[in-house]
A and B are shown apart, each in its own frame.
Chain A
Amino acid sequence: MGDLLWILVSAMVVNNFTLFYFLGLCPFMGVSARVDTALRMGAANIFVLILTSLCAWFLNTFILPYAPFLRLISFIVVIASLVQIVEMVIKKVSPALFRQMGIYLPLITTNCAILGLAIFQTNRGYGFLQGMAFAVGAGLGLTLALVLMASIRENTELADIPEVAKGTALIFIIAGSLSLAFMGFAGMLSAT
């Protein structure tokens, strides 16, 4: 149990996907302009991450031992089709949710956080529950980083940012500062 909690906390804050592994930077730059879109993107991410973790575990346990060279290809194919299926299901089941979340799903396909999760999970040999904890932690971490970034960016919109710092330069400096602040979580729950 402590093991699972550590995996979750570690993926969420100690080794935050965005701020420590630089995964999912595209949505971090792209959809972090408004807090509500950031929240929705985060929710969509958590959802897909959990499904991915499930699929990766399935592939790793039952298929890939026989064809290890297909690992990457099978991951990417599964993720792409997964997102497609999820999109279709949501569209059918809840058109309202689809309108809110739908447009982010295709973006997620090429989001390295998803593939990264599958690969990290494989490299570390996580089992089913560990994989779930990892996925939830990673998803929450991504959402946290996205929402923090979005609320900060909304705030800086009204500031007189110097010309040279406008745009991406400032975003990276904010991200760097956030990353510095997240260093405070290093060692969380590990050695006692």
Chain B
Amino acid sequence: MRETTPQQDLLRGIWRENPVLIQMLGLCPALAVTNTVANSIAMGLATFFVLCGSSVLVSLLKRFIPHEVRISTYILIIASFVTVADMTLEALVPVIHKALGAFIPLIVVNCMILGRQEAFAAKRSVGRSLLDAAGTGVGFIIALLMLGAVREVIGYGTFLGISLFGPSYEPWVVMILPPGGFLTLGFLLLGLNWVRRHREKRATLGEWPEGVRKEEAA
């Protein structure tokens, strides 16, 4: 594995290797519960907690985890953290817990978390693992927030429950329904692709001699 600096560990997961938008991991929660910003934040934080917790634990225990059963061990650790998160949320914020429903226990099978244990926490120091987990977790929260914001603003006309367009705004119900989740993510990816291509094109065109650029434009 290529050596990385701590800053890279932290920042990588946030944007460049964003788990949802780039790596297509953790899609199920990213689509299922992002119909409001509040739900997105709750789901993001719960996942963040599980991710950081299990990364630290796996990194701490890496010497004691036999190689053959490492995946099962990781899953057990993650499942424990998820159960803790599930019960805590239910006790503290029952309304949001009800809204997220079965998708909190499903954090267990979020490939993103297992992936970070296998790819990073099992090999690095506790501090590095925490940084990596935090970065990935923040990236996950950012992606969820983007989806949640788009869907809530268009679907309800509100942001975090605060009305944006006045009482006579016609909500686009489809955005809070499942098709809205798929379409919003599809649209976001379309936009990201467009931005990336636009940038690449500008970069390439800048280096080309005058004549070639004209031909390209034609």
Contacts and interface: CB of A to CB of B under 8 A. Distances in A.
Nearest to A163: B197
B190 interface: yes
A170 to B, nearest CB: 7
B108 A76 contact: yes
Contacts of B108: 72, 76, 115
A172 B186 contact: yes
Interface string B93-110: 000000001100110111
A123 B100 CA distance: 13
Specify the main secondary structure of chain A where it touches its partner.
helix
Contacts of B179: 176-177, 179-180, 183
A119 B179 CA distance: 23
A interface, size bucket? 35 or more
A25 B27 contact: yes
Interface stretch (A14-22, A133-141, A152-160): A14-22
Given A69-B83, A169-B189, A173-B186, A164 B102 contact: no
The SS class assigned to the B binding surface is helix
Nearest to A111: B109
A37 interface: no
A29 B79 contact: no
Contacts of B194: 164
A176 B114 CA distance: 27
Nearest to B179: A179
A172 B109 contact: no
A96 interface: no
Contacts of B75: 76-77, 80
A179 B176 CA distance: 13
Interface residues of B, number: 39
B32 A119 contact: no
A127 interface: no
A68 B17 CA distance: 37
Contact of B197 (A22, A23, A71, A164): A164
A173 B191 CA distance: 13
Interface of B: 24, 27-28, 31-32, 72, 75-76, 79-80, 82-83, 86-87, 101-102, 105-106, 108-111, 114, 174, 177-183, 185-187, 189-190, 193-194, 197
Interface of A: 19-23, 25-26, 29, 69, 71-73, 76-77, 80, 110-112, 115-116, 119-120, 123, 163-173, 175-177, 179-180, 183
14 contacts: A19-B178, A29-B24, A29-B27, A76-B75, A112-B110, A115-B108, A163-B193, A164-B190, A172-B182, A172-B185, A173-B186, A175-B186, A176-B181, A180-B179
